[in-house]
Structure 1
Amino acid sequence: MADPVIIVGGGLAGLSATIEALEGGAKVILIDSEKSLGGNSAKASSGISACNTETQRKLGIEDSRDKFFGDTMSAGDRENDPVLVNVLVDESTDAVEFLENNGVDLGDINLCGGHSVPRTHWIPSPKEGKPKPVGFGIISALKDKVNQFNASDPGKLEILLETKVVGLTSWNEYITGVNVITGGKKREVEGKAVILTTGGFSADVKEDHSLMQEFAPDKLSLPTTNGAFARGDGVKMARAMGAELIGMNKVQLITLVKVHPTAFIDPADPGAGTKFLAAEALRGKGAILINSKGLRFGNELGRRDYLTGRIQKECQPIEKLQGGSAGLPAALMLFNDEAADSFGRPGFNFYYMIKKFFVKYDNAEALSKSTGIDYSVLSKTLTAYNDFVVGKADKKKDQFDKSTFPVAFPLDKPLYVALVTPAIHYTMGGLKIDKNAEVFNEFMAKPFKGLFAAGEVTGGVHGSNRLAGNSLLECVVFGRIAGRSAAKIDYSNEKSSFVGKPPIEGTAKHQEL
């Protein structure tokens, strides 16, 4: 059997790479430190962005690759690598088709912050029953696909769970394996190439060798939406081998109330360091944000970094309402029945009835009495917003440059209110890669042979700020590219020439965390 491709990390990028490598004829060893596959990808709730898709055409949405490219570059303040963005955009349609061909229904689309047109695809919410979050649905479908490979061609795929990768190994110029610890024992796993899909470093807050401490110490006091496994292991391992890093000071915050850039404050545990991510689709379907004075303070469909800044500037900590915000600046997210129906009742009820993030008030006056917000201010805020919804306003854009107003908020109708606060969500910086997902060697000024990376472990795609839905897209696009690229590697003739010869400089290196 030929040497395998080793994939480190079992989230969306890792599963996409696994499927492509297997379909390319390679044997694969997939390694993850957790008890099950999925990573942060399984928690994604807003969707996957793409342009010129069949779903867009069916819904009458006019989009183009130039619009998508422009939105992505603009959101990243043009600090993005345009070569990588071109790949991201050009491969986006195929990425959605890849998921749909593997059993994911992406038949609904949301308009999310920073996008000029609706293009963030997600799983339609059922009218009743249990909703399927888009991240969980995608991961479940790709895990099923991987299991089908195991059933149809045993021996082609090996999955190692609860196995921690602690370093990369190399043979001559090639990265060919990893050192792992499993069951308390250390061993080397050998192959012909390594793909790192280990995610970001948002939870890497310990002072010893902490990437957050090194690159974003000013954000260490903020809560996070990430699991404890987001330690930056892939970045650290590749860096120890001389890999080039890019954009490491770009850490995205979650500030709004219902999407990738927002974090719910749980009334049952306001001070929890890990927050539950609020789907950006909530804002796309009509949620608005106000501060404790009853005033809107920004465009709810603006960029994530913009909304984060507005909350931090215009919102104060809340003490009594719904358990308070534990000293964190917090906004009130307002939702109503019309928005809930548009979002999907089962999905909304998960936030409202199961997680209990939302509290229902009979009307605006009831909200005013409970919160202490001046009713005259609150009613003026909602009336002014409603004028844009029904077309009574003199202008098409409000004072925050918002031009899309999904639902009105009648003063006499029920309101659902949740508290949200900024939280560390995503790290845009990481390993520098090229269009083939090859990792750059900083000292050689060219890519390593046999080392690839995809997903949040990399940098360059998003620039200074990421658009909603571009994370899942990046995982699929570059995960598939990495899998295809690694499967094609064949250095058997080169390697055979080493037999019986003394190692040359750079041969059989071992670098560990």
Structure 2
Amino acid sequence: MSQETMSRRDALKFGVLGAGAAMLTASQAMAAAPMEKDVKFDEEYDVIVIGSGFAGLAAAAKAAERGLKVLILEKMGRVGGNSVINGGAFAVPMNPDQAAFGIKDSKELFINDALKAGLGINHVEMLETIFARALETFDFTVKCGAKYQTGKKPTWFGGHSVNRTIVTENMSGSAIIQPMAAFVEKLPGCKLLTRAKFDDFVMSNDGTSVLGVTARINYRFDKKLISDDMENTSGEKKVFRAKKGVILASGGFSMDKIYRKMQDPRIAYDQDATNHDGATAGALLKAFQIGALPIHIDWIQQGPWASPDERGFGVAPLLTQQGLFVHGVAVDVRNGKRFMNEMADRKTRADAEYVILREAPKAFPVAIGTYNTFEEQIYAAVEKGLQSGVMKKFDTLDALAANYKIPADALKETIKVYNETALAGKEDQFKKQTLKDLKAAPIDMKGPFYAIRLMPKPHHTMGGLKIDTKARVISGNTGKPIPGLFAAGEVTGGTHGASRLGSYAISDCLVFGMIAGETI
């Protein structure tokens, strides 16, 4: 398939199942998935969970703790999906470390920060639920064995009014996923299968309720295939009954080159993303086929802290979010000037970067700082970034400017004004939040200087299935929950509106994963 065309078959798969999917008639929905009378169940469980990331494992843990027999199906060869390569940043409002450092947070701040980033289209009841249960959820992950950098001042992420983010010990979501997966697998009656791909739902004979799933075990994901659902026939077919219901925790679709481009044509077909290869839309589309209500599907967040000099998520987001963006600057290489608030929400920053890249596609903006701009906990990542080449080190600003073809005098003037404004306690031109009460210049003019080229990458798909605060999937046909179907995490929509704040994802996924496991 070429980058600009697709077969009629794929057009049917991806085109028909867009935002209008929830308006399928009952007969169409019934035809889209096998019914109970059409199948013979191979195995029976109380609960079937699709996906093994934050949401899926939290759901499985809560269901299994209640004595339910749980099956987790993970299509990839390893557990964790995007969660295991996530940066490990967990927004926990009202946490003890905030109190210890005199940081005042509140429900209003937590929600209003999200509304500002989300352009006001967030479903506020979801944010209220996350706020109410985030600390409890954090404690549950600690019970499962997760380790965090606690006892210190929480991290300040872009778009947040205050420091409220707690970071895992290894600055990766793996510090939550790996112990939680081990915790889940030790629970009686809980079974986790990798290379086990969900294919479809099994519906009741009247087409109204989810009774189970069809799947393939010993499945092999092939990223070379355009349509994983239609072209990949690997694996052995199985049919599983779920007596209490199915929890969909299959994640987002930032690596689904066809579906993401249909939602946002500005995304190049071959554009790199921060996600793992299996972040595709197949499970989401199957839920649409049975009438699930879609929300905000075409809002796709781009990560403004990513770099063209490494594939995928890499180490650049850590070095920028907890380093160069906090006290350093991002400059337009064409004129050496700042062009954004480096601590704004993700959409604001990505949009500002795209203004430059649309005018000059190879003029990647550059984030610049000195060693004092990095938080202590990421010093090891600094060395990793230098070794990989995604970050470069220069003894002088002249050398840095020459490397990136930045006008040197203009760059020096930009940094001079930036430092003077910060030390004078004045508000800078972009109203950057982290320039308050500094006792030293944000950028040490003695050097050495560190720099990373910036390029937005598809990172988080805001849209998905509409769920209520009990994690029940809502039908577009009836406006009521679809019996037997629950969902949590990035496969759902509405919570974050137009753009998610950094570190709200772990909160969202874990909280609603737990709720799904409790509700079911």
Give TM-score, length-normalised by structure 1: 0.83
Partner in structure 2 of residue 182 of structure 1: 217
Partner in structure 2 of residue 264 of structure 1: 307
Partner in structure 1 of residue 317 of structure 2: 278
Partner in structure 2 of residue 238 of structure 1: 287
Instruction: Return the letter of the residue paired with 2:322.
Output: A
Partner in structure 1 of residue 265 of structure 2: 217
Q: Tell me how far apart the structure 1 counterparts of residues 211 and 109 of structure 2 sit (CA, whole Å).
A: 40
> Where do 5+ consecutive residues of structure 2 fail to align?
1-42, 219-234
Q: Tell me how far apart the structure 2 counterparts of residues 246 and 451 of structure 1 sit (CA, whole Å).
A: 16
Change (3 A) 1:283 1:365: closer
Q: Tell me how far apart the structure 2 counterparts of residues 288 and 419 of structure 1 sit (CA, whole Å).
A: 12
Partner in structure 2 of residue 226 of structure 1: 275
What is the DSSP-based 3-state SS (H/G/I as helix, E as strand, rest coil) of the residue aligned with 1:187? strand
Question: 1:437: Cα distance to partner?
Answer: 0.4
Give TM-score, length-normalised by structure 2: 0.82
Instruction: Return the letter of the residue paired with 1:113.
Output: G
1:456-494 residue CA offsets vs partner (Å, 9 max, x unmatched): 0000100011001111111100000001111xxxxxxxx
Q: Tell me how far apart the structure 2 counterparts of residues 166 and 3 of structure 1 sit (CA, whole Å).
A: 17
> Where do 5+ consecutive residues of structure 1 fail to align?
125-131, 256-261, 319-326, 487-513
What is the DSSP-based 3-state SS (H/G/I as helix, E as strand, rest coil) of the residue aligned with 1:278? helix
Q: How many residues align?
A: 447
Q: Tell me how far apart the structure 2 counterparts of residues 17 and 374 of structure 1 sit (CA, whole Å).
A: 53
Partner in structure 1 of residue 142 of structure 2: 100
Matched, 1:357 2:407: no
393, 402, 415: which one aligns with 2:432 = 402
Q: Tell me how far apart the structure 2 counterparts of residues 384 and 242 of structure 1 sit (CA, whole Å).
A: 56
Question: 1:334: Cα distance to partner?
Answer: 1.2
Partner in structure 2 of residue 466 of structure 1: 500
Q: Does structure 2 retain, via aligned residues, the 8 Å contact 1:113–1:468?
A: yes
Q: Tell me how far apart the structure 2 counterparts of residues 220 and 369 of structure 1 sit (CA, whole Å).
A: 30
- Structure 1 stretches of 4+ with a deviation exceeding 4 A read 315-318
Partner in structure 1 of residue 421 of structure 2: 388
Instruction: Return the letter of the residue paired with 1:358.
Output: M
Q: Tell me how far apart the structure 2 counterparts of residues 9 and 175 of structure 1 sit (CA, whole Å).
A: 17
Question: 1:342: Cα distance to partner?
Answer: 3.0
Q: Tell me how far apart the structure 2 counterparts of residues 23 and 381 of structure 1 sit (CA, whole Å).
A: 57
* Aligned residue runs from structure 1 range 124-135, under 5 A: 124=169, 132-135=170-173
Instruction: Return the letter of the residue paired with 1:93.
Output: L
Partner in structure 1 of residue 515 of structure 2: 481
Question: 1:429: Cα distance to partner?
Answer: 0.4
Instruction: Return the letter of the residue paired with 2:274.
Output: T
Change (3 A) 1:275 1:180: same
1:225-252 residue CA offsets vs partner (Å, 9 max, x unmatched): 1122111122111111111100011110
Change (3 A) 1:170 1:36: same
Identity %: 28
Partner in structure 2 of residue 199 of structure 1: 251
Partner in structure 2 of residue 429 of structure 1: 463
* Aligned residue runs from structure 1 range 56-455, under 5 A: 56-106=98-148, 107=150, 108=152, 109-124=154-169, 132-149=170-187, 153=188, 156-171=189-204, 173-183=208-218, 184-192=235-243, 193-206=245-258, 211-221=259-269, 222-255=271-304, 262-266=305-309, 274=312, 276=314, 278-279=317-318, 280-283=321-324, 285-292=326-333, 293-314=335-356, 327-340=361-374, 342-353=376-387, 355-391=388-424, 396-405=426-435, 408-455=442-489
Q: Tell me how far apart the structure 1 counterparts of residues 419 and 502 of structure 2 sit (CA, whole Å).
A: 26
Q: Does structure 2 retain, via aligned residues, the 8 Å contact 1:79–1:463?
A: yes
Instruction: Return the letter of the residue paired with 1:111.
Output: W
